[in-house]
Structure 1
Amino acid sequence: MSTNDTKKTQRTLKLGSTGPEVFPLGLGCMGMSGMYGATDDAESIRTIQTAIDRGVTLIDTGDFYGMGHNEMLVGKAIAGRRERVQLSVKFGALRGPDGSWGGVDTRPAAVKNFVAYSLKRLGVEAIDIYRPARLDPNVPIEETIGAIAELVKAGYVRHIGLSEVGAETIRRAHRVHPIVDLQIEYSLASRSPEARIFPVLSELGISATLYGVFSRGLLTGSKPKGPGDYRAYLPRFTGSNREKNEGVVETLQRFAQERRMTPGQLAIAWVLARQPAFVPVVGSKTVAQLDDALGALEHPLSKEDLAALESLGTVAGERYSDEHMKHLDSERR
């Protein structure tokens, strides 16, 4: 089966009890705006359009990716294809002109300001799923979700999502307005949501869109490409963790080769097998990477494969620095 036939053969998944039906893989566009080294806008647009033509419906972006660059890029790519996609947009992160991180702002007035600019950059009348990128410690989640609910009522937003928040925050948000999905990092290397967060999602009828399935390229053997690549500062890519993880990755690569899969396909197939009700969001920057990702749908893993894979070793290091981890609501115990 070729990837051109994927749309005809793959089922769709519903995001939450009230959300849209989506293709079983989403396309994450953050890497198209320089977070992982050099990019090419023409190739990025071609990748987004090829993904849509092959059945992918969920396109994920953030207003702070490239300080607006990513939304403008997505807007160009979906022109004339709007009715075939669902746009997932994160907001709230504050950036400086030098790319620095300035915290999070999810006050109701800020929410309405952010959405106005996103609608303009994307060239759309409504955003399908709108979500705060992180929990703002200075604003009760009820106020933020209430502001987005007003945008839903006004027709500027269709559904509400969350990102990187913990179980109690999910419950509080869902009491204000139905939440269709939580976006959270999940992979062979990052499994903490299984303990407390996924059970709450199941209880409340909320889906998940899972990013970081390659652990920022670690699981596929990709390495930081210079100081502009922020992975060079992440624990899993530095020091003794890097050396240990290279050995784990080599083992995973052999496992994939034995099953005639690429490492990327193996990483995606593991997520699909472990969490079949959730949607991996894959950060493909090129058509070749997209082709590889879609190929994972043709290689489902058996229970025996899962058991063997999970016995091959664990990845060393946290996904972010200690300071960053302290501020993640999803990592609070």
Structure 2
Amino acid sequence: MSLPLTTLGDDLSVSVLGFGAMALTGVYGSSTSAENLAVLHHALDSGVTFIDTSDMYGAGESERTIGEVAATRRDEMTIATKFGIIGRTDDRSLRARNDPAYVRQAINASLTRLGIDTIDLYYLHRRDVTIPIEDVVGAMAELVTAGKVRHLGLSEATAEELEAAHRVHPIAAIQSEGSVWSRDVERAVIPAAARLGIGFVPYSPLGRGFLTGTLTAPAVFANDWRSGLTRFSGSAFTTNQAIVDTLTAIARTQGATPAQIALAWLYAAAARLGLPVVPTPGTRRTTRLDENSGATRLTLTDEQISALDKLSAGVVGNRSDFHDPNWTSDQRERHDAERA
């Protein structure tokens, strides 16, 4: 089975649907090694060949799992990974590290865990704003010259950072949270990416599970990190259910699921935004992967797109509540606006 392909940047060919491998680390619920390998193999069998991970997912465990699959199926995979986050998730010590020496250290560690010679797309995961973006991307560009990396990407970069980085070395992809309920990236980052010929790879395209319609009460995710997010808490959770109601209503008319409608909206947005859009939902289940793949075959009506376009205006809560004000591009934008 195959999915259509699209191009990020000048010539990075990827499946139109990616697989987000953060889900393989237990952050959204436990899974066995056998289950993780099974869903990865099923992804490749289904044409979902763009595999997205990070060196900090499960302290490298996600990369090691992908490496097990790459040992026999490397030529079928387009592998993207990230660097730039260090620390522990359980004591709020996560922070960004971007110095050139760490860039060189991180790439070698990822290549070892993945068991491959070259990474197809290498992202800076988070910004350490004390290090000029030009210095970071300059060090990343050296990895391309050395043959360790084929293409460069940025995650949660502002428009200004994206433009500065692209002047140092071509950037193939910008990754940020993007979905029917998270659209701040459209203000400045996406227009900059479109001008520069950079593709958009939205993470959490299903709103960390919220947009699937399966989270019926906060108790469902009481034991994972989503319980600390304002969008998932208290009255905000109840108010935000209106978004799911609209997705569900449209899904009924399409013979689809709310998750498929949320993904189909992103595909429809590509024409409006003027750049390729490649969502990377994660899952631990092959059935959910098949469901996500089905979204690539849906066509929304203009009326449905218009109704979905309006949903973000009613969202209650920030998309990120991380303690570091520089953690996401919208946090930096808000922080800069408050200081202005």
Q: Give the structure-1-normalised TM-score.
A: 0.92
Residues 130 and 263 from structure 1, CA distance in 2 versus in 1: closer, same or farther, beyond 3 angstroms? Answer: same
- Is contact 1:95-1:102 (8 Å) kept? yes
Structure-2 separation of matches of 1:248 and 1:20? 34
Work out whether 1:236 is the aligned partner of 2:231: yes
Residues 123 and 144 from structure 1, CA distance in 2 versus in 1: closer, same or farther, beyond 3 angstroms? Answer: same
Residues 49 and 204 from structure 1, CA distance in 2 versus in 1: closer, same or farther, beyond 3 angstroms? Answer: same
- Is contact 1:167-1:330 (8 Å) kept? no
Opposite residue 248 of structure 1, the aligned amino acid is I
Structure-2 separation of matches of 1:202 and 1:309? 22
Opposite residue 307 of structure 2, the aligned amino acid is A
**What is the aligned partner in structure 2 of residue 289 from structure 1?**
288
SS of the counterpart of 1:101? coil
5 Å-filtered alignment, 1:143-154, equals: 143-154=135-146
**What is the aligned partner in structure 1 of residue 62 from structure 2?**
70
- Is contact 2:213-2:259 (8 Å) kept? no
**What is the aligned partner in structure 1 of residue 28 from structure 2?**
36
- Is contact 1:129-1:161 (8 Å) kept? yes
Long gaps (5+) in structure 1: none
Residues 209 and 97 from structure 1, CA distance in 2 versus in 1: closer, same or farther, beyond 3 angstroms? Answer: closer
5 Å-filtered alignment, 1:1-333, equals: 4=1, 7=2, 10-17=3-10, 19-96=11-88, 98=90, 100-223=92-215, 225-276=220-271, 277-311=276-310, 314-321=314-321, 323-324=323-324, 326-333=326-333
Question: 1:307, CA displacement in angstroms?
Answer: 1.3
Structure-2 separation of matches of 1:100 and 1:317? 20
Residues 206 and 262 from structure 1, CA distance in 2 versus in 1: closer, same or farther, beyond 3 angstroms? Answer: same
Deviations 1:85-140 (A, max 9, x none): 11111111112385753311111110111111111110101111111111112211
Question: 1:227, CA displacement in angstroms?
Answer: 5.0
Deviations 1:19-63 (A, max 9, x none): 411111010000110111222221111111111122122100000
Structure-2 separation of matches of 1:97 and 1:207? 29
Provide the aligned C-alpha RMSD in A: 1.8
Matched positions, count? 325
- Is contact 2:127-2:326 (8 Å) kept? no
Structure-2 separation of matches of 1:248 and 1:12? 30
Residues 153 and 136 from structure 1, CA distance in 2 versus in 1: closer, same or farther, beyond 3 angstroms? Answer: same
Identity %: 38
Question: 1:330, CA displacement in angstroms?
Answer: 4.4
Opposite residue 316 of structure 1, the aligned amino acid is V
Structure-1 separation of matches of 2:247 and 2:135? 44
- Is contact 1:104-1:135 (8 Å) kept? yes
Residues 75 and 323 from structure 1, CA distance in 2 versus in 1: closer, same or farther, beyond 3 angstroms? Answer: same
Opposite residue 262 of structure 2, the aligned amino acid is A
Residues 37 and 140 from structure 1, CA distance in 2 versus in 1: closer, same or farther, beyond 3 angstroms? Answer: same
Q: Give the structure-2-normalised TM-score.
A: 0.90
